[in-house]
Structure 1
Amino acid sequence: MDFMTILLIIAYAVTTWYLVTRFMPVKGLRNLTAEQFRQRVNQKSGVVLIDVREPHEYKRGYIPTAVNIPLSQLGKRVKEISSKNEVLLYCRSGMRSKQAAKILSKHGFTNMAHLKGGIMTWQGAIKKK
């Protein structure tokens, strides 16, 4: 094999690994529609609602009762979240909440759901700071 062939194989392997790890389902994470998510949020008991967007995004509008723990800080702040509750996650479009679920899964969380499509799909009340 020549050098270019080896380089292409490596590039293909890295790209495949990236796509698989990025889009692979997270164990214990349920994808909820906006309506299903609203129903879970309204039940209030036994759930913790976490907005994983950055503080400047959160201030522009968030779901009432949500706690802001940005994805960039989640690994350091995971102890603030009770594993006894169902963890409801959301972000702007749904990608960061999936990444947050991966982090929480590595810390033993198994009862999680996220808002499919993020806050952009949310039809309920929004608070601003």
Structure 2
Amino acid sequence: MAVFSIDVQIGKASPARLAVVADDDLEQRAAVTRQLEALGFTVAQASDGYEALSIIGEREPGIALLRRHAESDDGERAAALARMLYPRTRIIMTAGPADVRTDDDAFTVLSLPADARGLDRCLLEAA
């Protein structure tokens, strides 16, 4: 059984134009980062959901895009923790073709490779 602790700061305002993008695929992460920067966001990057969770705790961004993988639920676990601990941060899961689900989803999902229209839709849905 894994044991960990997280220091939570309660009551701090969330910077609306700060985003976190977490993806182990550097090219996908860079592409989504460029799209968010074009929309006026300052973007912090992480290679996985748990690294992103640390950034979310430190900086409380307005939005976080966390990668979903079919073979691992780390991204979804980090997203669930972020939603619980930092409710002001809107969570969007990113998913490649093999990682997209058709069942009801607890999170807004951005299909990869991302395009501007899909990102805009997800930002509106997550608002």
- TM-score, with normalisation over the residues of structure 2? 0.40
**More strand by percentage:** 2
- Which of structures 1 and 2 has the bigger CA Rg? 1
**More helix by percentage:** 1
**Greater relative contact order (Cα < 8 A, sep 6+):** 1
